[in-house]
Amino acid sequence: MQKIDLDHKVIFVTGAAGFIGSNLVKRLFKDVKGATVIGIDNMNDYYDVALKEYRLETLNTEHGALNINGNHWKFVKGDIADKQTIDGIFEEYKPQVVVNLAAQAGVRYSITNPDAYIMSNMIGFYNILEACRHNPVEHLVYASSSSVYGGNKKVPFSTDDRVDNPVSLYAATKKSNELFAHCYSKLYDIPTTGLRFFTVYGPAGRPDMAYFGFTNKLLKGETIQIFNYGNCRRDFTYVDDIVEGVMRVMQGAPEHKKGEDGLPVPPYAVYNIGGGQPESLLDFVQILQEELVRAGVLPEDFDFEAHKQLVPMQPGDVPTTYADSTALERDFGFTPKIPLREGLRKFAEWYAQFYKHE
């Protein structure tokens, strides 16, 4: 593994106003010295833009306080699917480490609006790869997804498993990212690492995710639908654990080396980042409701049973996600550890604070 010191580097983070992206930038401000961090986000309205603006505002405010490390922050409002914009950023700033987190997210939305996924997840990622090809990039880290495992019956999911049966277009685009990256690593010797994230959650997250959507609905007195009659299990991963994993991986690029045949081995790697503790949706909802009451988001006498409905599986969904993160532990000494209750408590407390004016 090739060690990379992030101090005094130019680091390009796509999707910087997104859930994971904004948390990563915040962590870079805190831990890295003398770096130039470039962020890009198209600020689209797939979900409430006010949340993206809030995250961005937090970055701008906190960066002012954390500038003791001598880091520079530059935000560009733009789309990674626009080749000219991406080429312009690489030409002007010459990023040495690139973290591609920009993507059209969501399994269900990919069924009704496939165009957005092709543009962002495929054309956008291709533009990033092309720019890396023509510039001396030390490491490209990019977001893949646990959705690439599709309906795999074997658990836990290992990066050694075959992932040729996606059940959503979103999953297919993420698998294509891994294939594109392998190709560019092989042809152009670009060190790339893909990270398969498992159900990321936490404060200021995405409203289309179950924990956030359930909270919004319960607050309005609406009924929440629990799919597959509650028989789904998800490997929930708190956002701070995801960011810790990304930070460690950024600093360890796959090595340039030759194989037994004397030809270059692609400097390519893929890791799972998940806690390895899948929770049933019914247990998850139980913990969520307890924490919402504790944080004062919902009254203590709230009738949860009257607002829950067990329904069949939705198209594009899978019954179980379950990460085998032993490779991450082996290579980077890290496995996500924050338990679900602790993470949902932080979310509930943030939610109570953020929406208290409404």
Taking only the tens place, the pLDDT of each residue in 274-289 is 988 889 999 999 999 9
Burial 155-186 (b: 16+ CB within 10 A, else e): bbbbbeeebeebbbbbbbbbbbbbebbbebbb
Give the tens place of pLDDT for each residue, 176-190.
999 999 999 999 999
Q: Phi-psi region for residue 190, left (φ > 0), alpha (ψ -120 to 50) or beta?
A: beta
Q: Which two tokens stand for residue 176?
A: 């294509």
- The backbone torsions φ and ψ at residue 141, rounded to the nearest 5 degrees and listed phi first, read -110, 135
Place of tokens 């954390």: 66
Residue 6 DSSP symbol: -
Q: How far, in Å, CA of 190 to CA of 269, rounded? A: 11
pLDDT at residue number 64? 54
- pLDDT > 90? residue 121: yes
Average per-residue pLDDT for the chain? 93
> Cβ-count burial of 230 within 10 angstroms (0-12 exposed, 13-18 middle, 19+ buried)?
middle
Give the tens place of pLDDT for each residue, 192-227.
999 999 999 999 999 999 999 999 999 999 999 998
pLDDT at residue number 276? 80
How large is the greatest C-alpha to C-alpha distance in the chain, in angstroms? 70
Measured in whole angstroms, the distance separating CA 182 from the mean position of its chain's CA atoms is: 20
Residue 234, beta-bridge partner list: 279
- pLDDT > 50? residue 65: no
Q: How far, in Å, CA of 68 to CA of 57, rounded? A: 19
| 3-state class (DSSP) for residue 3 | strand
Give the tens place of pLDDT for each residue, 286-320.
999 999 999 999 999 999 999 999 888 877 677 78
Catalytic residues: 170
Radius of gyration of the chain (CA): 20
pLDDT at residue number 275? 83
Q: How far, in Å, CA of 25 to CA of 9, rounded? A: 14
